[in-house]
Chains A and B, each alone.
Chain A
């Protein structure tokens, strides 16, 4: 059978099924294959909030979204071109997220009356006309999977398990993908269970052949390799990149790494990843609570380690007092907040940017710290590295904000070489004590120096009580307090001299400047670059440095008539900008749904602003 092959520039595919259906694995396999043949891509897993929600219900749906393209891809995309729904709940959960005339592949064996009832459908969605307008492909996936593995000596319950591989086979045919990468993966995953490896491979192949043979699918698609910069690549999630960035900083600075952390969604993967790497002399402490997480890190910092604590919004709130202690004692400390939907327990598995003000201001007293934000899964590496560098060179806590979206999202990453990473020079004391004092400062950076227990002659005491300038002794002197508050503020403000300036993508004379920060980079870049390509008068400036702001921020803002600040919160960065740079007018665009921006919504909004809405 000859097949018609259509060529696409980019495509969004969503795998969805019950949490036991193996959708994360399926999606990851599709991503690896796509990456291997040279597509650029971005992925985003969508986990159910409950660990074991009842089978077949919407609450139990686990999804994996991936966008692949023949150009650089900056986000996992919005609505799917192709949805693979393993059951009615998966269909229901994703109905609002399919493009008009998109393709829906379902397992018709799981669309019995009891299945769609469990999903909360009153009628069978396959029969009630609600899927009209979509290209619906009904495949008896469960039955065909069973048939395809009939000859293998495996447990009965494993016979339908491979249906995710069957579905993946269909999608591989649809997008003209080779099966080898997944076949190799199955061989190594089931090295000790060769029958299971064979069964899974058979199901994969059967799915592929099924799609090839039956004329359910009018055509298949091709997405050519993207023109990516030369180099060696791997796939990386934001949380992995964060962990590795810190490992890299520890190696570069020749410091031992200490992580004190308490498990919390969506930050726990950083703890998991670093716990694997004890061979790099990494100490990880799963502490009794969030406070002990940060306090043990402060202790390790006092004792000379590169100290890290990881958390999410509620945990950052608990750590507030201890951040103040690290700020007061001017000890280096990296605090990573993988933001999630708040307030309170909020939306643990959803993304949001609502910890910004907490990070900048959320402590008692005048308590300035450096706040930076990563903006893509892979640049979590660079910003984790940078957070560590700033902390140990400027002797201060640094809060790094990432979020659930980039932390769990993955993309191909051109692997960094340690030789290309900037030098890190921790402010550790050298030589004899002489007239050294705990709060003797560097003239340029204003940092104090790090005298670590074990170094002879530098015995000294520090603490959370106000310090006498220079000596660090306890002081209640009113003037000294004012001096010290101002020195601590100035120390953080001067970090602006050591960080890159803000850059603008697009024409610096454009009518509208889109401003974003952190994890919304992909969405904002995709929307603005599409509009720039259409010749619209728009530009994009994205902030990774929140406190202090890049030095040229005002100079950049001054070039634009209209500035719109886009955030996944109710307007936090815009508040900060209004207080720091009140001379400009800021429009704002906010989305507070626990979801990333969508390209369509953004373009709509920006066009409205350009047309003088």
Chain B
């Protein structure tokens, strides 16, 4: 048989002729670039990749990706992506969404996609604000934030997408930030490799309506003390001097300094992303600055069958034991009678 040499895809192959219309300086640009860099690495042909989005700034994403794409309606992208993946499990399906789209109007679909563990990758652009509708608070906005719809400050409590996801039985959760292009690519490749629903929360700066909301974590002077990049099998060490680490004190995480009070590197928790038990993953996800560093990287990555796999296995089994080989046979089964 003739050996066909596959043409190598590059990031450029994934660009479209459409003008990218996000505000200048929006974090979305960097994410788009990261995705375009990721796709040549995942071993899929262009025609086998699908981008599905809902509504919001981030949801314009599919128009800028030279793959199959579907810009759908507000909040419903997980349901539409579920249909795409079930119909053709060979496709690499990516859902692009924001904090309003995924966590407010689409909350139900979001949690059920995770619960079922359908094999799709969800890129959740969390900018803690509504951009497209021009600046209302979102379910992840910090309490008290003053926006157009909360001139006196919100009294709403916010929630954390990672905690919500784990509550919905998510097997894969990662967190990155839009200013770390290389790390975004790494995490996206890990998400694509993971079987089941892979949720990546991307902290994304909305320069227009919520600028610098993550500055407390990203500013040069605090960055190293307020970011903990987790890697499976590596100790949870961070800090400008790489001497801070996390330990468990009862049911709580605690920051310790290596070399102080007899603490050595061996005392520091080692990250286990593959652990079934969600307790520590939840604690890591919950950490917030300035008391704690914010956890980044692949926080949870647990292996299991995906929903689409289970559905198609069931179909295969039913086919193997089929009672009827055609609709004609089905229609003629059971009690029938002839009228002469």
Contacts and interface: CB of A to CB of B under 8 A. Distances in A.
B340 interface: yes
Interface stretch (B44-52, B214-222, B229-237, B264-272): B44-52
A300 B84 contact: yes
Contacts of A232: 332, 336-339
Is chain B's binding surface mostly helix, strand, loop or mixed?
mixed
B68 interface: yes
Contact of A453 (B47, B315, B321): B47
Contact of B83 (A32, A248, A302, A321): A302
A303 interface: yes
A456 interface: yes
Given A283-B311, A454-B90, A322 B73 contact: yes
A299 B52 contact: yes
Contacts of A281: 315, 319
Given A258-B87, A281-B315, 11 more contacts: A229-B339, A258-B83, A277-B330, A287-B112, A299-B52, A299-B84, A322-B73, A329-B70, A461-B65, A461-B71, A463-B71
A474 interface: yes
Contact of A460 (B48, B68, B335): B68
Contact of A303 (B45, B69, B91): B91
A292 B76 contact: yes
A256 B312 CA distance: 12
30 contacts: A228-B339, A231-B338, A232-B332, A244-B330, A247-B327, A258-B83, A278-B314, A285-B83, A291-B76, A291-B79, A292-B109, A296-B82, A299-B87, A300-B84, A302-B50, A302-B70, A302-B80, A414-B339, A416-B331, A418-B326, A453-B68, A453-B88, A453-B91, A459-B67, A460-B68, A461-B68, A461-B69, A461-B71, A463-B71, A473-B63
Nearest to A331: B70
Nearest to B331: A415
Interface in A192-251: 228-235, 244, 247-248, 251
Nearest to B334: A234
- Interface of A, helix, strand, loop or mixed by DSSP: mixed
Interface string A284-306: 01011101100111111111110
Contacts of A230: 339-340
A303 B337 contact: no
Interface of B: 16, 18, 45-50, 52, 62-63, 65-73, 76, 78-88, 90-91, 108-109, 112, 311, 314-315, 318-319, 321-324, 326-328, 330-332, 334-340
Nearest to B308: A283
Contacts of B321: 279
Contact of B326 (A251, A283, A300): A251
A457 interface: yes
Contacts of A140: none
Rank and list the top 10 A-B pairs by shortest CB-CB distance, nearest first. Answer: A299-B83, A463-B71, A295-B79, A296-B83, A279-B322, A303-B87, A461-B69, A299-B80, A292-B79, A300-B83
Contacts of B76: 291-292, 295, 322
Contact of A300 (B52, B66, B86): B86
A558 interface: no
B83 A457 contact: no
B25 to A, nearest CB: 22
Contacts of B69: 459-463
A500 interface: no
A151 B81 CA distance: 61
Contacts of B81: 299
A40 B316 CA distance: 40
A467 to B, nearest CB: 11
A288 B47 contact: no
A291 B46 CA distance: 29
Most buried by B among A38, A234, A244, A289: A234
Given A279-B324, A299-B79, A461 B72 contact: no
B331 A244 contact: yes
Contact of B63 (A299, A303, A321, A461): A461
A91 interface: no
A298 B50 contact: no
A234 B331 CA distance: 8
A242 to B, nearest CB: 13
A296 B86 contact: yes
A356 to B, nearest CB: 25
Given A244-B331, A260-B83, A303-B83, A325 B90 contact: no
A186 to B, nearest CB: 14
A462 to B, nearest CB: 6
Contacts of B332: 232, 234, 415
Contacts of A453: 47-50, 68, 84, 88, 91
Contacts of B83: 258, 260, 285, 295-303, 305, 307
B318 A278 contact: yes
Contacts of B72: 295, 298, 325, 463-464
A228 B62 CA distance: 57
A370 B109 CA distance: 28
Contact of A248 (B66, B318, B327): B327
Contact of B73 (A256, A278, A285, A464): A464
A457 B47 contact: yes
A35 interface: yes
A292 B84 contact: no
B116 to A, nearest CB: 9
Given A229-B339, A453-B48, A289 B108 contact: yes
A613 interface: no
Contacts of B73: 295, 321-322, 324-325, 464
Nearest to A245: B327
Contacts of B336: 232-234, 415
A472 to B, nearest CB: 11
A417 interface: yes
A465 interface: yes
A36 interface: yes
A455 interface: yes
A247 B322 CA distance: 15
